Amino acid sequence: MTIATSTRLADGRELIYFDDGAHAKSHTALDTRPLDARSEENTGELRYDALTGDWVAVAAHRQTRTYLPPADQCPLCPTTGANLSEIPDSAYDVAVFENRFPSLGPAVGTIPQNPAWGTIGRAFGRCEVVAFTPEHTGSFAGLSQERARTVIDAWAHRTEALSALPGVKQVFPFENRGQDIGVTLHHPHGQIYAYSYVPPRSEVMAAAACMFYDAHNGQATLLGDIVRKESESGERMIAQGEHFSAYVPFAAHMPLEIHLTPHRHVPDFAALNDAERDELAVMYLDVLRRLDNLYDTPTPYIAAWHQAPLDPVLRPAGRFHLELTSPRRAADKLKFLAGSEAAMGAFINDTTPEQVAALLRSTPGTLTPKADLL
């Protein structure tokens, strides 16, 4: 069982320690840094793009954020006498805290409901950082099964808490791994965004899910149907458990793309039961290790945990799942999202999902030590 301990940083931001059940720690250390109180006035703005109907968060204050600090000044390492980090304790397992340089928040609330060109709203929401381990080097794939399970409990805890904040429409846990895709801190970590609007891709996916759900009178779900078909075909399947299946999707957008989908229709992390969380820890590590074992150097990736939107109309059709993507198309080649993809949203994939699935199936999901990516 994971034990959560909540505290506050010097500027008022919340920090929560999540300890592996067998190693519960007492967290009493105080943040002694002379930080100014965090102000809700610092919340950035949302601008409405009338051309597309999208909201854009304008966060000029983030330009001053920490960028690739040296290891002895890492903000995610446990605090030492020489490094007063974001995590005051000298030891922890997993820690979650509010981002000091958030794109969304810290204020929460409801954004304008009938926007048009020129509409500006406040960038309500919440951005949190999840430190997966006190170790400065390594990656999620190198975590123990017990620690991965603690992170899953942390994601579930935060999903439930952030979903309850006023105006929050979507909670999105994710990890960017690798400098190639914009990582600004080496220490293994992920993030959680709580949006005050349904992000564009979630909206598109929710519309497809709702259309299928309604056409089947609420008796079948789109992702449930897809995971069943992928299971029957087996062509793109990578690994299957009792509660989850990992496969390359039929119409993968990226050179490396893996979906990890629960067999039961659950909306989010918080709704997973213990048996599902246990298996998810095993299968997520398996998938990440296969990805890392493809090449001699670690593969950059985006791990995107899709959860059902909180809107009561959209939510019943939405199923929790992971979409793990990498732009890597060869040992020394990355796919760049250029004209067709970036400008038109029209993807061209140079690999076939079936070939990629066969490759990932034959690659062991065991831990292989690697030089640090950065």
Q: List residues binding Zn ion (CB under 5 A).
A: 74, 76-77, 136, 187
Residue 189 a catalytic site member: yes
Identify whether the C-beta of residue 260 lies closer than 8 Å to the C-beta of residue 245.
Answer: yes
**Residue 104 vs 185, nearer CB to Zn ion:** 185
Give the SS3 label for residue 49: strand
Q: Nearest approach, Cβ of 199 to Zn ion (angstroms)?
A: 29
Q: How far is the CB of 208 from Zn ion (least distance, A)?
A: 40
Distance CA 102, CA 267 (A): 26
- Cα–Cα distance measured from residue 141 to residue 201, given in angstroms and rounded to the nearest whole number: 27
Q: At its nearest, how many Å lie between Zn ion and the CB of residue 84?
A: 13
Other Cβ atoms less than 10 A from the Cβ of 274: the count is 10
How far apart are CB 73 and Zn ion at their closest, in Å? 9
Q: What span, in angstroms and rounded, lies between the C-alpha atoms of 95 and 329?
A: 33
Nearest distance, CB of residue 187 and Zn ion, angstroms:
3
- Minimum distance between the CB of residue 57 and Zn ion, rounded to whole angstroms? 27
Phi-psi region of 175 (alpha: psi -120 to 50; beta: other; left: phi over 0): beta
**Residue 136 or 315 having the CB closest to Zn ion:** 136
The helix or strand, by DSSP H or E, that contains position 46, with its residue range, turns out to be: strand 45-49
How far is CA 258 from each of CA 236, 267, 346, rounded to the nearest angstrom? 10, 19, 19
Q: Residue number with the shortest CB distance to Zn ion? A: 74
| Candidates 189, 243, 306, 321; catalytic one | 189
Strands (E), 251-372: 256-262, 301-306, 321-326, 328-330, 333-334
What is the smallest separation between the CB atom of 136 and Zn ion, expressed in angstroms?
3
CB of 125 to Zn ion, least distance (A): 26
Closer to Zn ion at the Cβ: 76 or 270?
Answer: 76
**Of 189 and 321, which has the nearer Cβ to Zn ion?**
189
Residue environment code for 127-136, b if the CB has 16+ CB neighbours within 10 A, otherwise e? bbbbbbbbeb
Q: Which is nearer to Zn ion, 84 or 282 (CB)?
A: 84
Helix, strand, or coil (residue 356): helix
Q: Which is nearer to Zn ion, 75 or 105 (CB)?
A: 75
CA distance readout (Å), 372 to 70, 180, 268: 14, 14, 32
| Residue 118 structure tokens | 């020129």
Nearest to Zn ion of 187, 328 (CB atom):
187
CA distance 90 to 19: 14
Q: How far apart are the first and last CA of the chain?
A: 33
Range 19-26, long-range pairs (CB < 8 A, 24+ positions): 19/92, 19/93, 19/94, 19/150, 20/93, 20/146, 20/147, 20/149, 20/150, 21/150, 22/146, 23/93, 25/89, 25/91, 25/92, 25/93
What number of other Cβ atoms are within 10 A of residue 88's Cβ? 22
Residues labelled as active-site residues:
189
